[in-house]
Structure 1
């Protein structure tokens, strides 16, 4: 494969805007018919956007987090399913940069620059909580044997590599096994059937005696032993997806009100868009969406500042900034996607309009990590300066 284009920040944002607009055209139909966006993911990979965090020392652009967040927001504005699919791709490129050896980075990052993609196999069903795992790596001769079953494996169906979280030994520290999608013993099942984000293929990955060599294992537990932006970066991209959903819901509401809605007779106007109650509602929604977008951009800058000046306080500041953005985009995306129907009227609930997908997507994606815990940690910091914990969920 030939290398993808190395994009500047302006080029990345411009290309994301173009692709987001293109992806929007078929988003409703893909959602309604549950058509997986294979062609669109291939376009995304070929565009160079999935390689923008590869450092310059490996031939990439090494673009800042604030740019990556804006790229995600713009893609999500078009179709949040497509934006969520490569989320783990960026998170595990980051994990490789933080915990991989130079040889491991030199092996995998050039593939990213050729348009190859990373998925994930992290969460598991039936465990005590989200950070409880049963999947194990056990020594087997000169390599390791990987066994387990994972769920919510967004991106795995489309990926070339599936980074997998597993204990080293029965109860040892968590490590990442870098597994090829087509490796013997790997089965990726598209059994995702959810209210929203219907075409992310976030289903099951089964791992049965998958052989993993020492050079394809990185330490995950060490990620959180000191100051880090690992979790903040991951959550920043989730926040960007929700911000994109909110803006899309508002845009579609405006389009519907100006072209299809009828005015209420008490308003005394010819267009629904001229009803003062409708205009006021749009003003309120625009205000909340702008606020969420501003918090997202601020959080991206905080992550970049921490990456350049990493210590306990800058990493905590980044975590809190992202927590604020995530809490705001959660509330905003769900509220605006619901209020859409209030301003658009009865005609907007007709199934063929597919406007309900915005609420379903927002409601589904915002459950990924509870916003209430973001607010809890913000409150603890505001009350007595308690620094937030270091986890991938904050």
Structure 2
């Protein structure tokens, strides 16, 4: 199979079409925790997961702005399906930056044939997100990989796993690229969160997994120089939150137009004409539009930094993304909660599953504390201090 190589306009249109199709089933998938194998397969076959493959390897080499809008459109339909390929595109970026030509040719070629990459980064019970205990030990001409990962989003659906690990010989962080079906790899479906229930973000166990010497890419050096690596990863998280917020508001509007009853004191025939409800919707629309605008500005800032990468442009990209991410966290959680206030008691019926928007927003937005985004924005505004270089900003 060879997937389509999509231009920017086609990619966005395909994403919006898929988003509408995903929206037809996201309520039931969440309610029954039906894992979206068919939906992820369709996503891979659409060509959207090959958008960031470099042109030199036959890919579309899409801009960050295009990829961000694709993720937003998919998240509008189902933020679970949108989150599954997040690590796919982030680690393809890591491969672009640090992979050998032979390694790049192999992985990029397989992505163009429909393969999917998932992450195995975080570890349950470690001191913090950057405390990596999974090890790469020398073994002949290659390495042995051992450890246990959690929050391994998309691992159930993947062909390849990009495993963040620490090299025993020097303590440096590396990314070990392995096939999911390799000997010693166990992927466990034990993800049990209140939201984002179908992302396949469970446990990956690694026992003496053989890794070739040329299937390891350096990660420790990622932040030794100006980079947009973290900003790219974070702007896609923001896109997912913004997609959730817009969908929650859209569903609230539909419910009020078709189902909600007006409050008697309003003296109107329809809930959508109630002035208190109308004002609340105006406030929510203002918040969502603001978050959407910050998202576009952030994506454009990352694109600008990629064209001319300096300390200043990298910092501006990170700050723009921090603003978008802080906004998207607050807005997605708030809109998904306010949905019930504007829609009324009937909206709380369990079978409608409207609470999935809040559960998804609350769960997804916990990836990185929004307070630290605001902190770094404040340091910049008050004292001109650039944000740190790491993957969380």
Other-structure match for 2:157: 158
Other-structure match for 2:108: 109
- Mapped to 1, the partners of 2:110 and 2:392 lie a distance apart of 28
- Mapped to 2, the partners of 1:334 and 1:50 lie a distance apart of 27
Other-structure match for 1:331: 330
| Secondary structure of the structure 2 residue equivalent to 1:227 | coil
CA contact (8 A) 1:52 1:62 kept: yes
Is 1:385 the counterpart of 2:384? The answer is yes
Tell me the CA shift for residue 126 of structure 1: 1.1
- Mapped to 1, the partners of 2:125 and 2:263 lie a distance apart of 51
1:80-95 paired onto structure 2 within 5 Å: 80-95=79-94
- Mapped to 1, the partners of 2:18 and 2:304 lie a distance apart of 29
- Mapped to 2, the partners of 1:365 and 1:376 lie a distance apart of 20
Is 1:180 the counterpart of 2:179? The answer is yes
- Mapped to 2, the partners of 1:132 and 1:175 lie a distance apart of 13
- Mapped to 1, the partners of 2:140 and 2:114 lie a distance apart of 34
Other-structure match for 1:62: 61
Other-structure match for 2:192: 193
Query: What root-mean-square deviation, in Å, do the aligned CA atoms of Structure 1 and Structure 2 show?
Result: 0.7
1:318-349 per-residue CA deviation (whole Å, 9 max, x = no partner) reads 00000000000000000000000000000000
Tell me the CA shift for residue 170 of structure 1: 6.2
Other-structure match for 1:45: 44
- Structure 2 unaligned spans of 5+: none
Equivalent residues, number: 393
CA contact (8 A) 1:6 1:52 kept: yes
Other-structure match for 1:344: 343
| Secondary structure of the structure 1 residue equivalent to 2:174 | strand
Other-structure match for 1:205: 204
- Mapped to 1, the partners of 2:141 and 2:52 lie a distance apart of 33
Other-structure match for 2:257: 258
Tell me the CA shift for residue 58 of structure 1: 0.7
Tell me the CA shift for residue 315 of structure 1: 0.5
Is 1:140 the counterpart of 2:139? The answer is yes
Worse-matched range after superposition: 162-171 or 211-220: 162-171
| Secondary structure of the structure 1 residue equivalent to 2:226 | coil
Other-structure match for 2:266: 267
- Mapped to 2, the partners of 1:170 and 1:367 lie a distance apart of 34
1:277-356 paired onto structure 2 within 5 Å: 277-356=276-355
- Structure 1 unaligned spans of 5+: none
Tell me the CA shift for residue 171 of structure 1: 5.7
Tell me the CA shift for residue 34 of structure 1: 0.3
Other-structure match for 1:224: 223
CA contact (8 A) 1:161 1:179 kept: yes
1:102-160 per-residue CA deviation (whole Å, 9 max, x = no partner) reads 22111110111111000010000111111001100000122211000000000111001
- Mapped to 1, the partners of 2:306 and 2:102 lie a distance apart of 22
- Mapped to 1, the partners of 2:170 and 2:101 lie a distance apart of 27
- Mapped to 2, the partners of 1:170 and 1:100 lie a distance apart of 20
CA contact (8 A) 1:136 1:170 kept: no
Is 1:126 the counterpart of 2:125? The answer is yes
- Mapped to 1, the partners of 2:145 and 2:88 lie a distance apart of 21
Is 1:23 the counterpart of 2:17? The answer is no
